[in-house]
Structure 1
Amino acid sequence: MSKPSIKINAQLNSIIQDENFDNFSVTQLLDSYLAMCAVTKEPNEARKYVYRQIHRLVKKGLLLKKGTKNSKRIVYQKSELFFETKFIEQNTTTSTANQITSAPSTTIDAIKQLEERLKESEVDLLTSIGESEEYMRLYQSFPEMKTHLESQYLQARERSSKLLGQIKAIKSVLSHQRK
């Protein structure tokens, strides 16, 4: 009778095949997997991927799940079948890596949020400029209010400067994200 075989991610295989790696949790496997991967992984997607792989190995009888169903102390143990199985390593540089790396939709969402923030800051800047211009007109009409109007004018100009800095920063990040 030939050994059963199963395809498995190369990094996961090298971690699980380690004889000292037994009675492990999802978190322990995930941490080892993330530490071993050359491509920067989105932690949430990597966690889902690792969990799916563990679940697949449990279904095939290669790993035994120890602990109660809703317990946070669930550990996985290698079964006898695990040691009889031939593991065929798959390289993750193509499809799996693309699924796990940070999704492009995250970048699109970030760009949308940045564009919205940019619009808000530009509106605030125009409001602040209009405010400072009005303080200048009021000063010309009511010179006796010079002290109060001058302090209000300076505060509006300071807000304008801060907003201009925010706009420059947002535009810089946007141009970087669009590359």
Structure 2
Amino acid sequence: MTSAVKLHPYIYNLLIEKDFNEFSANHLRDALLKITDEYSEVSEARKFIYRQLHRLEALGFVCKIEKSDGRSKKFYKTTELFYSTAFTTGKIPKNSRLRTVQAKVDSEVSDLDIFLNDLKKEKLIHEAKLAVVLSEIEEYQSLMERFPTKKSYLTALYQQAKNQSAALLGRVTALSKVLGQNSNEHRTC
């Protein structure tokens, strides 16, 4: 019995779960940007996709094909070897919108514990983002006070940061309420 080939979770999601079988690197990159927040810049996502495609091509799982409609375009196609190979995937990065399907959970760890731990992690992330945005707001206020003639230039950025802070505060509050409700339920039991 042959061992399974390990794929990056994003590539596994795109090529196997979303069934990409003929695609351009840009198409794959755009799909990647929709399933994760890990890449802050499009160029980072593009580099990741090209590294993964190069690896898959070297292993014989994808091949380049040329399509020409006015100008030459490079596409990739999954090969027969791809379909006859078993694949596995590693852990999903923390900030991804992808979710792994939970295998059978040990009897010691309940679904509720996993749920609450995930919420605590999300809350910490949102609290950190909120702290950054609040500092950004303070800096805009400081700049507007120091440079009153440039206030009209800074107002849009200031307002955008205030809106972002309100959204983040809403998320933190909602998560706090859910986590607080759970601790209250445990006290009354």
The two structures have a TM-score, normalised by structure 2, of: 0.46
Larger radius of gyration: 1
Larger helix percent: 1
The two structures have a TM-score, normalised by structure 1, of: 0.49
Of the two structures, which has the highest relative contact order with CA contacts closer than 8 Å and spacing of 6 or more?
Answer: 1
